């Protein structure tokens, strides 16, 4: 398929080797996008590209570690040289390491900051010059409802997601003026290899294909925040506005007993 035959343009999705990123790459390729899929592991990306061979669009594998700024900039340049200007980026790469207060370690924070927070920052630094010059493009920053309020065992993870939410809110007004559509994605629990490791109940758990559909629907809307599933989002937003005393009365029950 050449560029003229693909109606949707070029999309870049980070963290596309598994989970929500992988499902979204397939969904967008099914709708005719030329998808540049990046992640650290090359083999799952190549498998994803093969799976997409019969779809209307394409998936191209670009192995990448988003914690390496120089590599991110080089890969974005390579994607645009090969597939055309990036019309839609979904900065989705991330990880989670639960940590109890009794196991507090700065290394956990550093690891998650590098991937969840700085990985997204590196993507923005690589994308914005071209999009600003074109005065066009869409960027979706994938955070989490865990960024709304501090939750037990998620001190490091929630901090990075809260940082992404704040950053996106701060950038949004200026990027609007420059013709760039910035959106914030706050998923709840989605069934992925990452959440399969959780030993606690996950309310309103979504199947990954349903979550990818909700995300893609949001990307085609004018909404700033794309959040799902709505019932869990509503509960978490309620916690966001409750007084601290009431919030802690709830979250104390979430502390693991062992």
Can you give the CATH number for the domain in which 212 is found? 3.40.50.720
Expressed as residue numbers, the domain containing 31 is 3-254
* Residue in 33, 62, 148, 157 annotated catalytic: 157
Structure tokens at 5: 């035959």
Q: How many other β-carbons are positioned within 10 Å of the β-carbon of residue 232?
A: 19
- Encode pLDDT of 67-119 as tens digits: 999 999 999 999 999 999 999 999 999 999 999 999 999 999 999 999 999 99
- Encode pLDDT of 180-197 as tens digits: 999 999 999 888 766 656
Decide: 172 and 130 in contact? Cβ < 8 Å: no
Decide: 126 and 72 in contact? Cβ < 8 Å: yes
pLDDT value at position 190?
87
Decide: 34 and 57 in contact? Cβ < 8 Å: yes
Q: How do the residues of the chain divide into helix, strand and coil, expressed in percent and rounded to 5?
A: 55, 15, 30
pLDDT value at position 199?
58
Tell me, yes or no, if 216 is annotated catalytic: no
Going by C-alpha positions, the residue among 130, 10, 129, 122 that lies closest to residue 58 is 10
Going by C-alpha positions, the residue among 80, 76, 71, 91 that lies closest to residue 20 is 91
Number of structural domains (the chain) is: 1
CA distance 218 to 230: 13
Low-confidence ranges of the chain (pLDDT < 50): 1-6
Model-level pTM? 0.93
pLDDT value at position 191?
82
pLDDT value at position 195?
65
- Tell me phi and psi for residue 74, to 5 degrees: -65, -40
């Amino acid at each position: 398929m050449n560029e003229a035959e693909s109606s949707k343009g070029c999309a870049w999705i980070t963290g596309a080797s598994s989970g929500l990123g992988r499902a979204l790459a397939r969904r967008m390729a099914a709708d005719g996008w030329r998808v540049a899929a990046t992640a650290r592991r090359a083999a799952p990306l190549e498998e994803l590209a093969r799976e997409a061979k019969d779809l209307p669009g394409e998936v191209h594998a670009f192995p990448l570690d988003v914690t390496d700024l120089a590599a991110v900039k080089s890969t974005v340049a390579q994607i645009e040289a090969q597939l055309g200007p990036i019309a839609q980026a979904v900065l989705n790469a991330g990880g989670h390491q639960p940590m109890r207060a009794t196991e507090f370690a700065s290394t956990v924070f550093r690891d998650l900051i590098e991937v969840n927070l700085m990985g997204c920052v590196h993507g923005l630094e690589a994308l914005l010059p071209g999009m600003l010059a074109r005065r066009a493009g869409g960027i979706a920053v994938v955070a989490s409802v865990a960024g709304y309020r501090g939750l037990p065992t998620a001190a490091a993870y929630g901090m990075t997601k809260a940082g992404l939410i704040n950053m996106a809110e701060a950038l949004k007004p200026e990027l609007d003026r420059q013709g760039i559509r910035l959106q914030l994605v706050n998923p709840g629990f989605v069934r992925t290899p990452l959440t399969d490791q959780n030993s606690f109940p996950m309310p309103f758990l979504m199947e990954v294909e349903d979550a990818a559909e909700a995300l893609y629907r949001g990307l085609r809307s004018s909404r700033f925040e794309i959040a799902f599933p709505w019932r869990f989002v509503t509960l978490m937003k309620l916690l966001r506005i409750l007084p601290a005393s009431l919030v802690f009365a709830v979250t104390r029950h979430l502390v693991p007993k062992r």
